[in-house]
């Protein structure tokens, strides 16, 4: 059994959500029921491998000890060290994923790491002042709809909402939206994603330009419906349990520029990176006067932000190049926005928006083609010939 995969999971999910609906409808406390569900699902899924379960338990203990120490530490210097230590398990995971050892390899480590790093940084910033109990930490970290692939929620929002008793009419509206999102997510993942994948693996004439063109568009459809479908099911399940988990996609293929795209695609990742990487790199570079012009500082921050995004996905060449590619696009568009008279003159014209949309979507599709790793297979194929 895996999260949002297989008949067994969906059977248990249906039972869990029905009980959760009844609890919320009656206005009873839901937080301990959610905790129990999350722990049960974690044991069932991670328990298939003693190694993976051990990694998960060790990770939670290590990170929570860091959280406890951080909440008792006033020194900014020591807090920064603790933040770096909280990143360490993710770094070890990514580095050893390129070897046969696969240390700290367990489902959801990338998402759990970002959740914990957010807590550590906000403790350092003074935004989190109240002690986070072990129960609250586990509730947030192992919340089963989002544990394996997001969306990436924020601790203060989640911990506040899970204790909230929502008025019945408001809950029923949220639950209704949740059912709709859950069904739409199933449709995306089971029907549209499967159909796209069927045509994708059926492609012939490997190594030709036409093959690459077909692959790019089909892979984009497959990835979107697969990931957006999962995200919709995660958000829908959360809604039925009374939690307003943030949406992860907002019609990304209507984006009229690359910044607009990242405001619509994998939204919780891009906003996490904006808040905890881009803004901090920008402020640090500004403070230390690394660049004379604000524009150059912003371009530098975009490059760092998107390259880190590539490394977060993994240390394979496809992910790293994907990060650099989007860093160049974001930095380039920042320069174009600020310096181009053509842009400033025409940005509100309908013809310009249509042209900008067409260019943006195709740049995005090329990026996802890089992300897929297919270009490197083609290069290897050509070299072997």
* CA pair distance 327, 310, nearest whole angstrom: 9
- 225 contacts 252 by C-beta, under 8 angstroms: no
Candidates 102, 198, 206, 313; catalytic one: 313
Catalytic annotation on 313? yes
DSSP 8-state code for residue 246? P
DSSP string over 180-244: HHHHHHHIIIIIIHHHHHHHHHT--STTSHHHHHHHHHHHHHHHHHHHHHHHHHHHHHHHHTT--
* CA neighbours closer than 13 Å in the CB half-sphere of residue 380: 5
Q: Are 186 and 35 in contact (CB under 8 A)?
A: no
Residue whose pair of structure tokens reads 């932000």 in the numeric block: 305
CB atoms within 10 A of CB 73: 15
DSSP state, residue 35: H
Q: At what angle do helices 109-124 and 50-72 cross, to 10 degrees?
A: 10
Q: Do residues 158 and 185 make contact, with C-beta atoms less than 8 angstroms apart?
A: no
3-state secondary structure of 361: helix
Largest alpha-carbon pair distance within the chain? 68
Catalytic residues: 313
């Amino acid at each position: 059994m895996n999260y949002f995969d297989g008949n067994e999971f969906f059977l248990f999910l249906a039972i869990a959500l029905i009980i959760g609906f009844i609890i919320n409808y009656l206005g009873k406390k839901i937080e301990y029921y959610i905790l129990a569900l999350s722990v049960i699902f974690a044991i069932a899924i991670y328990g298939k491998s003693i190694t993976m379960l051990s990694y998960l338990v060790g990770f939670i203990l290590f990170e929570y000890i860091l959280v406890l120490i951080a909440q008792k530490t006033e020194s900014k210097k020591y807090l920064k060290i603790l933040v770096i230590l909280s990143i360490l398990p993710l770094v070890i995971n990514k580095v050893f994923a390129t070897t046969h050892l696969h240390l700290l390899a367990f489902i959801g480590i990338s998402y759990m790491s970002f959740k914990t790093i957010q807590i550590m940084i906000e403790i350092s910033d003074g935004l989190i002042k109240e002690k986070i109990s072990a129960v609250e930490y586990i509730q947030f970290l192992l919340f089963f709809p989002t544990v394996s692939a997001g969306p990436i929620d924020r601790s203060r929002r989640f911990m506040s909402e899970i204790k909230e008793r929502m008025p019945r009419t408001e809950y029923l509206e949220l639950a209704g939206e949740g059912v709709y999102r859950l069904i739409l997510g199933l449709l995306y993942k089971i029907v549209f994603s499967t159909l796209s994948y069927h045509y994708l693996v059926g492609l012939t004439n490997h190594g030709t330009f036409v093959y690459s063109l077909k692959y790019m568009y089909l892979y984009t459809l497959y990835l979107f419906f697969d990931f957006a479908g999962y995200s919709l099911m995660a958000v829908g399940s959360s809604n039925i349990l009374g939690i307003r988990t943030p949406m992860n996609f907002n019609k990304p293929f209507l984006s009229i520029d690359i910044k607009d795209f990242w405001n619509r695609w994998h939204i919780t990742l891009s906003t996490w990176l904006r808040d905890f990487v881009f803004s901090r790199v920008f402020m640090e570079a500004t403070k230390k006067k690394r660049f004379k012009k604000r524009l150059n500082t912003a371009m530098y921050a975009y490059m760092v932000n998107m390259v880190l995004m590539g490394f977060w996905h993994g240390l394979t060449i496809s992910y790293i190049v994907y990060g650099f590619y989007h860093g160049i696009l974001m930095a380039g568009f920042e320069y174009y926005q600020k310096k181009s008279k053509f842009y400033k003159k025409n940005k509100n014209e309908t013809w310009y928006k249509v042209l900008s949309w067409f260019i943006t979507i195709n740049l995005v599709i090329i990026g996802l083609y890089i992300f897929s790793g297919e270009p490197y297979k083609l290069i290897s194929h050509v070299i072997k010939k």
